[in-house]
Every structure is written in C-alpha cells, then in structure tokens.
Amino acid sequence: MPEHGYLYDLLRKLGLSDFAARTGQWIVVRPLKILLILAASILLGRLAARTVRRFLRTAQMRTPLRSPSVRAQQRADTIGDVVGGISKATVVVIGAFMAVSELGVNLAPLIAGAGIAGIAIGFGAQSLVKDFLSGMFILVEDQYGVGDLVDLNGAAGTVEDVSLRVTRLRAVDGTVWFVPNGEIRRVGNSSMEWSRAVIDVIVAYDADLAKVTEAIGDEAQRLAQDPAWSPHVLEPPEVWGVHAMSPEGLTIRLVVKTPPRQHAALARELRGRILDRLRRDGIRGPGQTAVLVQATEGPGPAADVPAPGPGTGG
C-alpha cells in the first residue's frame, strides 16, 4: 500500500472518503511544499550571492600584487555583483524546476525545450554574449578602470564607466565614445604604474650638438629640482641624443619618467623652457639659416645670402 502521509490518515479518521482525503492532502500539502521550495531557493540564492561577493572582496584585499584602492574595490564589487547574480539565478531556476515537478509535470520535455531555446538565443545574441564575456575578462584582468587614460582601437579618452557590455570614454574635445567590449582588440593604457614624457627638439644641422644637449639637459634638471614639478619626476631626466635626421633638421630626444597621467603637462612645461633656453643661447631651430653680409664690388647695398647647409657643397 502506498504511503499517503499524516494528513491523509487524519482525514480518513475524520470519516472522509479515500478520494476526499487524497484531494485534501493534495490541496494542502502540495502548495505548502511549493512555497517552501521557492522560499528556500530564494533564500539560498541570496546567501550564495552574498557569499560570493564577500569572498571576492576578501580575496581582493589579501592579494599581494596590488594595494587596496577605490578602483580595485569597484572592480571587485562589479565582479562580485555579476558572479553573485549568476549564482542566485542558478539556484532560483533549480528551485523553480523542483516546484514544477511537485505539480506532477514531466520535466524532461521542458528541459529539452529550454535547452533548444537557449541554443537559439545563444546563436542570435552572439555579439551580446561576446561583449559580456570580454567585459568580464577586462574587469578580472584589470586592463583599465574608471579614470584611466586609454586608447581603444583608435577611440582615445578618459574612462568614465566600465560595464560588462560597453565602455564609455570621454575624449579631450568632450566627445563621448561608447565602445562595445567585444570589439576591443587592443588596449593602450597610459595610467598604469608610470608614464614617460618624450620631448623631441629639432635644431638646424649646423647647430653645436654638445651645446644643444647641454642646454636641454640643464633645463630638464632645473625643472626636476623645481619644487612645483619635482613630485612629478620619478627619475633623473635623460637626453638620448640624436633621434632622427630629416630635411627640417636634427631631432634631439629627451625623456622624463613621471607618475601616471602627468607626462603631458610636464612635457608642455619642458617644451616652453627649452624653447626659451635655445633662443637665449642663439641656437637655431628647423628651417632657420644664418644671415651673412657680403660686400659687393658695385655701389649696391649688401646682400643677405643663406649660409651653406649640409649637402650644398660649399
């Protein structure tokens, strides 16, 4: 004989028929089981999401690779929300299937249909899934964060928001770029660890290289010792010498290591100082030629002729 439960036995003892006792048990017990299953799944889903978020925050705080920061905390919160949401949804879906099974519904066709629908949706939303997966890897690998100055496939600017689907940038001219994470093939981040100011100074071919190098290095050292700029100089400036030779003249390269995102302002300041120094020292820039005054045999005025440059033969 099948086991019907305590409620069935109680109803039978009260004088109800077998059908009435079975019906009463089904009306009372089944809904109660369904409610308990749904309540337990929701509770376990929230508990799983909270546990995942707490675990990721703890792991982020204990990692020896990076010191705690607002950016790292934001990244951990975002990843925790995503993983926690997935965990919660998984538990709730399992609970929903268990609740449906209590109604006597055969779950095999339902699961098969859900699988086919999931495959169809996956094929139709490949780009969306690609964006979400790429966004997850961007956050986990810490490729960039809010406030970083980045270049994403030609879209350059400051990161204002990073979500799983899209990254929002603001360019220097104020243009806001929305870049789908799945379309990002390369990332150039100018805000990680340190930056480098690269200053190329072009001078005439007949300039004294030793004098030019000394003037550039001296101005760079003066800036490095300036209290207003010294916090932005991580290492002593280096003059790398002649970097290129072009029709305009010789290119002398100077490099200065700076904290992240400080290289542009420091480079602008250095260019102005070097320009003033070259003018004071009489060092000519690209395209400038010396002016010679030659006496003529006739009574005409003196003629200004350019000095011979490299390759002129005299």
Q: Is the pLDDT of residue 183 over 70?
A: yes
Residues 6 or more apart in contact with residue 18 via CB below 8 angstroms: 12
Q: Is the pLDDT of residue 301 over 60?
A: no
Amino acid at 136: M
**Tokens at residue 97, please?**
């299937």
User: DSSP secondary-structure letter at 181?
Assistant: G
- CB of 92 closer than 8 Å to CB of 42: yes
| Helix-, strand-, coil-residue percentages of the chain, each rounded to 5 | 50, 20, 30
For residue range 203-242, what is the model confidence (pLDDT) as tens digits?
998 888 999 999 999 999 999 999 999 999 999 999 998 9
For residue range 128-158, what is the model confidence (pLDDT) as tens digits?
888 888 888 888 778 888 888 899 888 889 9
- CB of 294 closer than 8 Å to CB of 307: no
Task: List domains and CATH numbers for the chain.
Answer: 6-124 (1.10.287), 144-189 (2.30.30.60), 195-281 (3.30.70.100)
Taking the C-alpha atoms of residue 23 and residue 19, their distance in angstroms, rounded to an integer, is 6
For residue range 8-19, what is the model confidence (pLDDT) as tens digits?
666 666 666 666
What are the phi and psi torsion angles at 254 (to 5°)? -120, 135
For residue range 50-65, what is the model confidence (pLDDT) as tens digits?
887 777 667 666 554 4
- CB of 285 closer than 8 Å to CB of 216: no
pLDDT for 111 equals 73
